[in-house]
């Protein structure tokens, strides 16, 4: 990651990350599509080549959505014992909607936190 020499007032990494805005200025869009990151910010020109969220957002989505859906499915099964088709029509759409809703927000959050904390690849110091 190259050193950022621009002077911008600090923005809240959580709010700009969750809303998919530029982590430096908070104005430009971070995403070009649903999950694809733009090459640079349209407002301040920040190069987004540093942005690599990897599998982090997907892992958090799996944990959060899995906890919610499995917990609710177990509660419904224990209390009402519905037929299998009821579980299928309830939990598959809910898991899909929650996963898609959280994935973009958490990817933006991870990228914004990378920028704020100046995260970079590890290097071995040969002294």
- DSSP assignment of 58-103, as one string? HHHHHHHHHHHHHHHHHHHHHHH---HHHHHHHHHHHHHHHHHHHH
Cα 41 to chain centroid distance, Å, stands at: 18
7 in a structural domain: no
> For the whole model, what pTM was predicted?
0.85
3 in a structural domain: no
- How many angstroms separate the CA atoms of 73 and 2, rounded? 48
Q: What is the pLDDT of residue 7?
A: 78
Q: What is the pLDDT of residue 84?
A: 96
- How many angstroms separate the CA atoms of 92 and 85, rounded? 11
62 in a structural domain: yes
Whether residue 1 is predicted with pLDDT greater than 60 in this model: the reply is no
pLDDT tens digits, residue range 96-121? Answer: 999 999 999 999 999 999 999 988 77
122 in a structural domain: no
123 in a structural domain: no
Mean pLDDT of 8-34: 94
98 in a structural domain: yes
SS3 16: helix
Q: Cβ(18)–Cβ(108) under 8 Å?
A: yes
127 in a structural domain: no
pLDDT tens digits, residue range 32-91? Answer: 999 999 999 999 999 999 888 889 999 999 999 999 999 999 999 999 999 999 999 999
Q: Which residue has the higher pLDDT, 8 or 41?
A: 41
DSSP 32: S
Q: Which domain holds residue 111?
A: 13-116
Give the chain's domain count: 1
21 burial via Cβ count (<10 Å: 0-12, 13-18, 19+):
buried
Cα 96 to chain centroid distance, Å, stands at: 16
Q: What is the pLDDT of residue 5?
A: 64
Q: What is the pLDDT of residue 124?
A: 81
């Amino acid at each position: 990651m190259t050193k950022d020499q621009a002077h911008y007032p600090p923005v809240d990494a959580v709010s700009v990350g969750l809303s998919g805005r530029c982590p430096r200025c908070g104005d430009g869009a971070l995403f070009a599509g649903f999950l694809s990151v733009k090459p640079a910010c349209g407002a301040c020109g920040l190069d987004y080549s540093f942005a690599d969220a990897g599998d982090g957002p997907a892992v958090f989505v799996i944990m959060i959505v899995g906890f919610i859906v499995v917990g609710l499915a177990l509660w419904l099964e224990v209390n009402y014992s519905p037929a299998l088709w009821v579980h299928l029509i309830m939990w598959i759409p809910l898991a899909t909607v929650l996963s898609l809703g959280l994935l973009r927000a958490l990817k933006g959050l991870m990228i914004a936190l990378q920028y704020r904390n100046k995260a970079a690849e590890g290097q071995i110091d040969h002294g």
